[in-house]
Amino acid sequence: MLPSPKLPYPSAKLPPPTQIRWSSAAASPSVQRDCKVSRREISTSPLLLLVGSQTVTPLFPDLSKARADQISSDKDTSTSCRDKVPTEKAFLDISIDGEPTGKIVIGLYADEVPAGVARFVTLVTGAAGISYRRKEFVKIMPNYIQHGGIRSYGETGSFENLIGEWERSKEEKCTKNLAGKVGIVVIDPSRPPPKAKLVARNGKLEIDEEEVGVGPNGTEFVITTADSSELDESVLVVGEIVEGMNVVEKMRAVKTVKENTGSPYFRVAKLIGDKRAVVAERGFNRPYSKIIVSNCGLLE
């Protein structure tokens, strides 16, 4: 027989087994006889009731098991996000200040994000008369490199499809912008909200909203060099780097314009929506060297 556990109050006594009654058979807990219970389990488990050599199972649900099941489920979800299989490959030939640097090969997730992949393929092949060829990378951040996209050719295709696909991907609740991913920018988190102003229409004053800065048009893309959860709210992942991460590291090593967000003048201008602050912010982290896509397309 196990020794009786020490009670928190010396005067308290456990009732004898014959005095324990249950309101119904359904509510009666199962009883395990002659179970071996360590002193550590006795002292640390407030849900156990020991009566002589009998151990009564807890009346409360096994919360630890439920939590373990939830963690296992979350792990499975994360694994499924990492195990996406590329269905086709695109390439980007990179040059820095006119010197060839190497080739980046990207595996595209056409089965998971068909609209995003279709947009990217159109731009690397030039199928719509516009292409990433001779276009620059405009930002080098600690966790990613951003391409400037295409602005001078007007319409580049339906943007609503990209937004809808991005919203569906967010519902999966898993980190998408992992190291070595390629994604299309669908929302600019640094863009200030519209600025309200009074305008005269038909002899009446009305409040109108003036857009500050230029929003993304679905042609800018990023290459992540580290896990970048900050991009989950703005980027639709369309593929992964399968070859050429050494080229990406060479791009990342290029010197850039230092940020000046700590300046009180910049903070005030940003707060009041001054367009000059937006222009200055777009210049932060811009590479001093010219990094361009010298050639691009699909691989057979």
Lowest mean pLDDT among 87-91, 144-148, 282-286, 293-297: 282-286
Average pLDDT along the chain: 74
pLDDT of residue 157: 57
pLDDT of residue 102: 96
SS3 at position 70:
helix
Which of the pair, 221 or 52, is modelled with greater confidence?
221
Q: Is 240's pLDDT higher than 60?
A: yes
pLDDT of residue 271: 75
Task: Select from 134, 140, 95, 86 the least CA-distant residue to 259.
Answer: 140
Lowest mean pLDDT among 253-257, 272-276, 284-288: 272-276
pLDDT of residue 6: 54
Which of the pair, 6 or 90, is modelled with greater confidence?
90
pLDDT of residue 75: 46
Q: Which domains does the chain have, with CATH numbers?
A: 17-60 (no CATH), 77-254+288-299 (2.40.100.10)
Query: Which of 50-64, 74-88, 162-176, 200-214 reaches the highest mean pLDDT?
Result: 162-176
Which of the pair, 51 or 198, is modelled with greater confidence?
198
pLDDT of residue 162: 86
For the segment 246-259, the average pLDDT, to the nearest whole number, is 93
Q: What is d(CA 297, CA 235) in angstroms, rounded to the nearest whole number?
A: 22
pLDDT band at 292 (very low <50, low <70, confident <90, very high): very high
Q: What is d(CA 61, CA 49) in angstroms, rounded to the nearest whole number?
A: 15
For the segment 105-115, the average pLDDT, to the nearest whole number, is 93
Task: Select from 91, 89, 86 the least CA-distant residue to 103.
Answer: 91
C-beta neighbour count of 56 within 10 angstroms: 16
- The owner of tokens 């005095």 is 19
Buried b (16+ CB within 10 A) or exposed e, 190-226: ebbeeeeeeeeeeeeeeeeeeebeeebbbbbbbbbbe
Q: Is 250's pLDDT higher than 80?
A: yes
pLDDT band at 5 (very low <50, low <70, confident <90, very high): low
Q: What is d(CA 48, CA 115) in angstroms, rounded to the nearest whole number?
A: 56
Lowest mean pLDDT among 70-84, 154-168, 224-238, 259-273: 70-84
pLDDT of residue 58: 46
Which of the pair, 93 or 35, is modelled with greater confidence?
93
Which of the pair, 195 or 102, is modelled with greater confidence?
102
SS3 at position 88:
strand
Write the DSSP assignment of 96-132 as a string of letters: ETTEEEEEEEEEE-TTT-HHHHHHHHHHHHTTTS--S
The CA angle 98-248-144, to the nearest 5 degrees, is 115
pLDDT band at 85 (very low <50, low <70, confident <90, very high): confident
Q: Is 42's pLDDT higher than 60?
A: no
Q: What is d(CA 9, CA 13) in angstroms, rounded to the nearest whole number?
A: 9
Q: Is 177's pLDDT higher than 90?
A: no
Q: What is d(CA 130, CA 118) in angstroms, rounded to the nearest whole number?
A: 14
Lowest mean pLDDT among 8-22, 93-107, 210-224, 255-269: 8-22
**How far is CA 22 from its chain centroid?**
51
